[in-house]
């Protein structure tokens, strides 16, 4: 475990730890998840995609390959998925998860809950996913990344605190931020299905990983300003058990 630069309590249920580098922060998140699974092999994990958690997933795979942890009894729920993309499409988040984690460790495919972005009836698919989440008994640990505009999952600014699984329109800022991560598509799909803010807040524990200078303003708004739908991540301060893992660049605007 890498030593942190600073650890503090933001509120009764909110912890903040700042690490020297992005890799240090990601490795600490991986350690946290490994500890969770060791304590409860049947944990339900909520997982995010994108550039931020890549190092986390590499560390989880390395731990599995070294015999330090098994994921065979773990259930997972993906946080979101682009509309219009089948799971096999290289730019689908389902495909990302297979490349980065699921296909490299001993996850049971029957326990991997994914959104079908290519469903003929996307509203029905959102309802199906919401029902699966409810029947699972809820998420034990939800891993999140942070959008530069403060979005969590694909809950863009203006998303209601009581929102649940639904179809959303992606903001221009999110489309631009996600463009470099595309594998095959020339432009980012304009809509997605995402867990809502209420679904995220229902998780028993939340881990927020934010790294890099581009996230500094969103981190400050989330942790230092009054909670507002203008910055969805700020709504997480009401959660009873959330831990923010930052590198020094993402924490630079906290003062």
Q: Tens of pLDDT along 163-219?
A: 999 999 999 999 999 999 999 999 999 999 999 999 999 999 999 999 999 999 999
Q: For residue 129, give the H/E element and its range.
A: helix 122-135
**CATH 3.40.50.460, domain 10-247, yes or no:** no
- The mean-pLDDT minimum among 5-9, 98-102, 150-154, 181-185 falls in 5-9
Cα separation, 232 vs 218, in Å, equals 10
Q: Which among 78, 149, 155, 178 is annotated as catalytic?
A: 149
Q: Which among 78, 100, 151, 243 is annotated as catalytic?
A: 151
Which residues are CB-contacts of 135 (< 8 A; sequence separation ≥ 6)? none
Looking at residue 7, what is its pLDDT?
66
Q: Which among 24, 100, 156, 205 is annotated as catalytic?
A: 156
Q: Name residue 45's beta-bridge partners.
A: 76, 141
* Sign of the CA dihedral with 52 first, then 55, 58, and 60 last: negative
Average pLDDT over residues 80-91: 98
Q: Is 89 a catalytic residue?
A: no
Read off the pTM. Answer: 0.95
Looking at residue 2, what is its pLDDT?
44
Residue 3 has pLDDT above 50, yes or no: no
Q: Is 149 a catalytic residue?
A: yes
Confidence of residue 5 (pLDDT cuts 50, 70, 90): low
Residue 116 has pLDDT above 50, yes or no: yes
Q: Is 80 a catalytic residue?
A: yes
Q: Which among 24, 27, 80, 199 is annotated as catalytic?
A: 80
Residue 79's closest CA among 17, 141, 31?
141
- Residue 217's Cβ-count burial label (10 Å; 0-12, 13-18, 19+) is middle
Residue 125 has pLDDT above 80, yes or no: yes
- The mean-pLDDT minimum among 8-17, 44-53, 110-119 falls in 8-17
CA triplet 29, 33, 34: central angle to 5 degrees? Answer: 115
Cα separation, 143 vs 221, in Å, equals 19
Q: Is 100 a catalytic residue?
A: no
Q: Are 230 and 158 in contact (CB under 8 A)?
A: yes
Residue 60 has pLDDT above 80, yes or no: yes
The pLDDT > 90 percentage for the chain reads: 94
Q: Tens of pLDDT along 211-239?
A: 999 999 999 999 999 999 999 999 999 99
């Amino acid at each position: 475990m890498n030593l942190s630069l600073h650890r503090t309590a933001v509120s009764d249920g909110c912890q903040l730890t700042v690490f020297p580098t992005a890799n240090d922060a990601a490795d600490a998140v991986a350690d946290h998840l490994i500890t969770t699974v060791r304590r409860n092999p049947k944990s339900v994990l909520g997982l995010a995609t994108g550039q931020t958690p890549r190092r986390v997933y590499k560390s989880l795979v390395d731990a599995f390959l070294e015999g330090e942890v098994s994921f065979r009894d773990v259930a997972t729920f993906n946080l979101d998925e682009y509309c219009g993309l089948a799971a096999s499409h290289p730019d689908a988040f389902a495909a990302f998860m297979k490349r980065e984690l699921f296909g490299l460790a001993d996850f049971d495919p029957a326990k991997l809950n994914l959104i079908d972005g290519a469903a003929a009836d996307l509203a029905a698919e959102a309802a199906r996913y919401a029902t699966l989440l409810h029947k699972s008994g809820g998420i034990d640990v939800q891993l999140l990344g942070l959008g530069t505009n403060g979005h969590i999952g694909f809950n863009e600014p203006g998303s209601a605190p009581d929102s649940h699984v639904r179809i959303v329109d992606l903001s221009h800022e999110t489309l631009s931020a996600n463009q470099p991560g595309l594998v095959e598509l020339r432009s980012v799909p304009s809509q997605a299905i995402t867990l809502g803010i209420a679904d995220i807040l229902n998780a028993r524990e939340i881990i927020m990983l934010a790294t890099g200078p581009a996230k500094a303003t969103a981190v400050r708004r989330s942790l230092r300003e009054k909670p507002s739908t203008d910055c969805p991540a700020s709504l997480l301060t009401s959660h009873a058990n959330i831990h923010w893992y930052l590198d020094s660049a993402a924490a630079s605007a906290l003062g």
